[in-house]
Structure 1
Amino acid sequence: MTLRRALSGLSLLALAGAAALVPGTASAAAAAIEVDGARVQFASRTTASASVTYTCGTPGSTVSDTLTVIVFQPLAEQGYKAAADNGDEGTPVQCDGVAHAATPVALQVREGVFADGPAEVALLVGDGLDEDDILYQDVDVVGVPAPEVTVSTNASPEPARKGKKITVKGTVARDDKPVKVKATLYFAKDGGDFTKVKTVKSDKKGRLSTTVKASQSGTFAYGYGGVVDDGDHVEVIPVAKTYKNCTALNKVYENGVGKKGAVDKGGSVDDFTVDDATYKKNKKSDRDKDGIACER
């Protein structure tokens, strides 16, 4: 058998499945089948529906048969990338030579991802698999929800030493599935707006990774498809050095500098900069020996 337009293995199986369900008495007399309004309405990214008008059989004789509907996008002859159908059992119809209007047909996506736009539908009543038994119609796909894009960002180390390397990792997914895409890395300095840093390609597992030079404190965030992550803030601290006194140190570290895990003895300072290396060089300025130098 040679079809007028190439169908995939999935489509052939669907049509063959429909043929096996019922005797072939009505299909030969099928006169017309079409999708009302030439429109396929999606309710989600995997489910859709169409109303089909059909006439089959001969007047005075009613035969129960099956309607098979397969939607392709792009067109089947262009090597389609998405397909949906009404299942192996098809949709029951009555072939009696009378026009039946607005028969609802539920469709399930079997392959690929649909988008709003032109598509093609293959229609068949009964078991006919001859070229002339399959009817084709151009239709419009509408109502496909936009894909849900999720992006994450993680920058390290925190804090980062000025002039040193910051590694910015992340992930990108579409409809909870990792995707290989070109994402954008943004940076916003403290008190500023996001600006583009560079384009970063994700791998097939949706993983993002790049390095930048630490210059100032701020937030890094990945973005893709109009979605920008909340981002990850990184404090950039100066190169560790010894300061003459607390006056000099506080010009750089306003609330002092301490080692990780330190707690102010006075209990009022909790926003000091954590920097073990700088604290070690200025330990002499930690007058109360609480692990924080020049807190205020």
Structure 2
Amino acid sequence: MRARRLTLSTFIAAITLGLLTLATPAVAAGPAPAAGQPEAYILIDEGLVIFDPALAVVSLRYACYGDPTTMDVTATVGGVQASGSVSIPCQGVLELGTQVQLRVPEKAPQFPPGTYDVAVHASIPGQATLDRVVNVEGPAPSSAVFLDSFVSPTEVAKGRKITITGNVRTGGFEAPTALKLALEFRPDGGAWGKLKTVRSDADGRVETKVRARTSGNFRLRFAGSATLDPATSYPNYVLVRPKPKKYKSCTALNKVYKHGVGRSGATEVGLGVKSWTRITPTYDKNSKLDLDKDGVACEKV
């Protein structure tokens, strides 16, 4: 007997007549609490963090029973209320963790700057609730400016170019366009001085280049304006080495590099010298002076 191909029409008819059944995959549920087992619960884990005037995130730990469900959370201070929910699995006595984003409705009062108490209410419907007051740091005022900076490379030969990059944001997490910043430099043992003026782009990014003259720190500084507060980035140190030079002898080399010069990553063998200078380009120009070929030339105690 030949088997007949099951067409769409016969498939639908078979379901209608009850000849075929469609099984719905079951979702595994956590076991219900047995006698003596703890009830479902919710705990605040790492507290509440307010990221901006309309957004907060709360970290929670919990245990629940039965099918996957939702956790609903609200945070209230004065006339401000932010809320959110998240889908969660339940695994009985096994404690789980989750984070919930809490958003303030559009055009509603927002989280103010400052430090204050926030009432947090969380619930797993039919199983557990949490009511807790937490002390939080509100969002930075919109006038606040956050400024960071980076340099590359952090070790360079004299005369080579250094790239300074940075980012600027305000307390409202906006990126000010064409914000005038001062690039400042402080040489070792010296004072801060302005090198040039740079401007941030539409995304709040800053990038500029300067030539390395001497070792020291670079930073970006914003002097402030009628609507924005002053700000200064954390300083970034750059070590400036002399230009790679070939020396006639170890006597001449040791006048500049007292304990010798070597390739980065090398290990001096023989004398146990630790304080030799690591400059690969200079070593490469003087590798013939490295008699024991350990990657360090003219090592000297």
| Larger RCO (CA within 8 A; separation ≥ 6) | 1
The TM-score, its normalising length taken from structure 1, stands at: 0.48
Higher helix share: 1
